[in-house]
Amino acid sequence: MGNEAYVIGVDYGTDSVRSIIVDTRNGQEIASAVYYYPRWRDGLYCNASLNQFRQHPSDYVEGLEQTIKSCLKKAGNINGAIKAISVDTTGSTPVAVDKTGTPLALTPAFAENPNAMFVLWKDHTATREAQEINDHADKFETNYLQYVGGIYSSEWFWAKLLHILRVDPAVAKACYSWVEHCDWIPFLLTGGTDVHEMKRGVCSAGHKALWAEEFDGLPPNQFFSSLDPLLDGFTARLFTHTYTADKPAGRISKAWAERLDLPTDVVIGVGAFDAHMGAVGGQIEPYHLSKVMGTSTCDMLVAPRADMQGKLVKGICGQVDGSVIPGMIGLEAGQSAFGDSYAWFKNVLSWPLNTFLPASKVISPEVAERLKAEISDNMIAELSKHAAQLPLHVDNELAIDWLNGRRTPDANQLLKGAFAGLNLGSDAPQLFKALVEATCFGAKAIVDRFNDEGVPVKGLIGLGGVARKSPYIMQVMADVMGMSIRIHRSEQTCALGAAMFAATAAGIYKDVEEAMQVMGRGFDLEYHPDRKASALYAKRYQRYLQLGTHLEQKKNEVSELVSNRN
């Protein structure tokens, strides 16, 4: 095998996990495999009406094994040349574990209990707890929210922990510690048996769990115990030290080496969130906003440490030293629904298909299923085609993209989406057009916040499935932003980023910048703004902001009224 050295990048998404084998000499993808979580696909343990979205750890473990084995089989006889594995996951997606670091759902007593499973990033059952954390933080001289944009979100670590402890006494009693998905998988692969020895990544700790060097770790126990006695003592069962993703978490355990047929010297890297590793896989540059566009968006920006001295960007998902590229400040923002917004609209339009076709007496069940699949597979593309042909006017239908709340700027998961300006002529392409524009307006609000806070956005990088597969959406994005957007060549930037971190953790490259330079696949598409369209969108964007402000004010007025009555 000569000088060949391969690494594996594992990317845990919302619906599936994907693994790729990458040649460290050039970044070439040797093999890939994807595994769709069967329990998640069947809707188990979730209740969308309650904003409850849970995932069973068995989906993660089965997917890890099957995708890596499938990749190795496709790649041929290279098992001995695999040097390292690194993992990225969605987040904040934490789980209750016992002292051994085992998720409670993997124990018999909690095997079917959703509260003992991973609480997916999009789970918003903890909105009350998030608000309590925000109110509570105002009582302290030290601002413990300063590095997470000043607002704590229901999508994050502590809010979810407090909610689970409150609603499920059995889980609360059995829960020794609370662990992010991206930290648990490396712990699993290295054979960890003591949660205190788990290496926690600075990415998840800094952006979601309030860890900061300036606090000497997590906020003190008093901050949490005075919020709710259920949290008393938890900081001692969590962590003090954190690690950047270019560091090894350890080596693969003998059991997992045998399970995957890999050498026992394979390095397992410290884990991180998907968008952070995806930004690296997409070759992020300082002050270029790297937009990972999937079910939601995560927008990553890196800036030199010296430039960020004294700057705290309000209303984003945090700024953390080393969370993206070690040695630089990583800043995170994003939207709670992006691709999910289009999927929602598609589901609305598909209701007659899903309801009437299976019971049709005109066609056979087999034909009905094929017809339903054909229409479903082509719906977004056809809507995009017709929406692109519609004339652009300032007074077109207008939408607000908060269908799953607002992540940034200024997190508020209680907000709702909306359409305005509808009439009897408003049809599906026009509503889809308004929805696409709304998601792009939401993206522009993020750029404006960075610019307003003295962190200039100098360019845009598009990553993920929506970026590569939706030309209409990307053109609207460029027009709304008034900036060009480059689309990365790789369809698997998150997994590729994980592979780059794996190569660095294994010592093949001295730092992740060198790995990016050698293993990066470059850009193959670029969308440039149409100046005429940008001028019209600038006016529509102001209307979007006005409508959003009005809706938020009314929401607050109603909430205050209800609170006063109670």
Specify the DSSP class assigned to residue 408: S
Residue range 100-124, pLDDT digits in tens? 999 999 999 999 999 999 999 999 9
Taken as a whole, the chain contains a residue count of: 566
Residue range 481-519, pLDDT digits in tens? 999 999 999 989 999 999 999 999 999 999 999 999 999
What are the tokens at 105? Answer: 């759902």
Phi, psi of 194 (to 5 degrees): -135, 115
d(CA 535, CA 149) in angstroms, rounded, equals 31
Give the model's pLDDT for residue 464.
Answer: 87
pTM assigned to the model: 0.93
Residue range 241-269, pLDDT digits in tens? 999 999 999 999 999 999 999 999 999 99
pLDDT tops 90 at residue 90: yes
pLDDT tops 50 at residue 402: yes
- Averaged over 314-342, what is the pLDDT? 96
What are the tokens at 382? Answer: 């056809």
Burial of 557 (0-12, 13-18, 19+ CB in 10 A): exposed
Residue range 215-224, pLDDT digits in tens? 999 999 999 9
Give the model's pLDDT for residue 469.
Answer: 92
The CA-to-CA distance between both ends of the chain, in Å, stands at: 72
Between vectors from CA 394 to CA 390 and to CA 399, what angle results, nearest 5°?
80
Q: What DSSP string runs through 105-159?
A: GGSGGGTT-GGGSEE-TT--TTHHHHHHHHHHHTTSSS-TTGGGTT---TTSHHH
Give the model's pLDDT for residue 477.
Answer: 98
CB burial of 482-510 (b: ≥16 within 10 Å; e: otherwise) equals bbebbbbbbbbbbbbbbbbbbbbbbebbe
Give the model's pLDDT for residue 218.
Answer: 98
Residue range 118-155, pLDDT digits in tens? 999 999 999 999 999 999 999 999 999 999 999 999 99
Give the model's pLDDT for residue 563.
Answer: 67
- Residue 3's pLDDT band, with cuts at 50, 70 and 90, is confident
Specify the DSSP class assigned to residue 297: E
Q: 3-class SS at 177?
A: strand
Q: Cβ–Cβ contacts within 10 Å for residue 154, how many?
A: 24
Which residue bears the tokens 């790995």? Answer: 515
pLDDT tops 50 at residue 1: no
Give the model's pLDDT for residue 560.
Answer: 76
Among 273, 287, 292, 290, residue whose Cα is nearest residue 450 = 287
Q: Which domains does the chain have, with CATH numbers?
A: 6-282+490-524 (3.30.420.40), 339-488+530-565 (3.30.420.40)
Give the model's pLDDT for residue 2.
Answer: 52
pLDDT tops 60 at residue 423: yes
Please give, one letter per residue, the 3-state secondary structure of 508-535: CCCCHHHHHHHHCCCEEEEECCCHHHHH
Which residue bears the tokens 């970026």? Answer: 467
Residue range 517-536, pLDDT digits in tens? 999 999 999 999 999 999 99
Residue range 39-87, pLDDT digits in tens? 999 999 999 999 999 999 999 999 999 999 999 999 999 999 999 999 9
Residue range 27-51, pLDDT digits in tens? 999 999 999 999 999 999 999 999 9
Q: Is the pLDDT higher at 464 or at 278?
A: 278
